[in-house]
Each structure stands twice: as C-alpha cells, then as structure tokens.
A and B are shown apart, each in its own frame.
Chain A
Amino acid sequence: MRRRGTGDPAGRAAGSPAPTGRRDRSVVVVTSPGCAECRRIAPDLDAAAAAHPNVHLERLDAATATEQARSLGVRGTPTIVGYRDGSEVVRSVGRMSRDDLDRLFGELGADDNVTRPSASLTDVKLRAGAGVALVTIGALTGPVWPLVLVGIALAGYGLAGLVRGGPR
C-alpha cells in the first residue's frame, strides 16, 4: 500500500526539511511502478520500519507524485532519504541490502545527538558466533587459553550488542 507524503514541494538539498513537514525521524522512499528493485526491497523496508517504530516510513510514487519526487531531487528509483529532526541526513539510490536498511533506520532512530554506527543483526551474529566457536574449540582442545579468552571477549562483545538495546 502506498502512502503519499504531504508537505512543502520546494527544492531539496542536504539539511533541507522533510517533505512531510515532520520534525522527528523519518525515511522517505521514492518508488516507481516499473521498478523491480523497488518491489524487492519493499518487505525489507517494512521489516526495518517494524524493528524501529520511532522512525516513520513514508512512501512516494514518482509516477503519481511527480512534482514532489522532482523537488526531492530524485533521479532514480528506489531513492531512500533519511531525515532526522526534520533535516535530510542520508540519501541512497538503488539497491540496499536488508542489513543496510536496518542500519539506516537504526542510525536515524538512535537517541544520541551524535549519529553513531550501530550493530546490525549480522554484526551481532558474527561476533557471538565467532566467540562461541573459539571458546568451544579452545576448551575442547586443551584448553588453549588464548583462544578461549579471545572467544569470550568476542562473544561478550556480540551479546553486549543485544543488551544495549538490541541490534539496529
């Protein structure tokens, strides 16, 4: 289901206000009817939006909201524009992986004033998985304490990503 954005159709540039006039965190996705990539990322967008309810997802159809898409400076679809506190902070054109989308939503939804890198689910899984593997191998073959200690540190780092508010 597509929802049209509303707001000021004036020209857009980095730092310019969100088209919907929202002052909080939002992602505007511009799609077009013939765009296969737009259809492909639609479920990933929904998943990222569901995982980050404090980031509003807005969809624009370039075919029907042509002026608004033009005012956003859209040159290809999908174009994904992230707004934080009402100003554009990130823009991406073309394919984005599920992890990249999750990271974009996570960075926009972060509570800090400074946008910081956030751990994606892949990061958490890799850290925890590598840590557990090293601990297990180190414990079963010795124990080989360097492997065990590095594994504990990695596993702890990975799990800390879960505890710190979950992967974003």
Chain B
Amino acid sequence: MGFVNEAGWDRITRVALGVAILTLGWTGVVDGAWGTFFKIIGFVPLLTGLVGWCPAYAMFRFRTNSRSGARTAA
C-alpha cells in the first residue's frame, strides 16, 4: 500500500491533464515540434495518475495521500 503516493484528487487531476495534453497533440490542435512533444509527454501524467505513483514524489519522499500519523492513545 505504501507504493501509492498520490491522493485521489491528485490522480484525477493527472489523468485529466494527461488526456487533455494527448488530445491537443494527437488531434493536431498543437502541431509541429510542440505537437510531437505533447503527443509523448501527455503519457507521463496519464500513467502516473493511473498507477498512483510519482517518481518525482518518491525521490523527494513526498506524498499527497495520507498515510501514517500517530495519535496518542487515551
């Protein structure tokens, strides 16, 4: 379970952003070098959102989902 380091909202945002970027690239709205760039780079947020793990987060030991947080027992 510790593999996933993204919260639900983070994952949804990434997937939406990835779909949007891929759409702009593959439909020709953005063409030329930028279009090619969009066609490729769009897979990054899409895949990281689908998997729930961001390598950049992992590198900096950052996460947007909640994990352990000790509470003092009564």
Contacts and interface: CB of A to CB of B under 8 A. Distances in A.
Given A126-B12, A141-B27, A94 B19 contact: no
B73 A74 contact: yes
Nearest to B18: A130
Contact of B27 (A63, A122, A129, A142): A142
Nearest to A103: B1
Interface string B34-74: 00000000000010011010000000000001111111111
Given A95-B66, A138-B26, A133 B73 contact: no
Contacts, number: 96
Contacts of B19: 130, 133-134, 137
B12 A144 contact: no
B50 A130 contact: yes
17 contacts: A32-B73, A35-B73, A37-B71, A78-B71, A92-B1, A94-B68, A94-B69, A123-B50, A126-B11, A126-B12, A126-B50, A127-B50, A129-B15, A130-B19, A141-B23, A144-B27, A146-B26
Interface of A: 30, 32-35, 37-38, 62-63, 69, 74-78, 90, 92-97, 99-100, 103-104, 107, 117, 122-123, 126-127, 129-130, 133-134, 137-138, 141-142, 144, 146-147, 150, 154
Interface of B: 1, 3, 7-8, 11-12, 15, 18-19, 22-23, 26-27, 46, 49-50, 52, 65-74
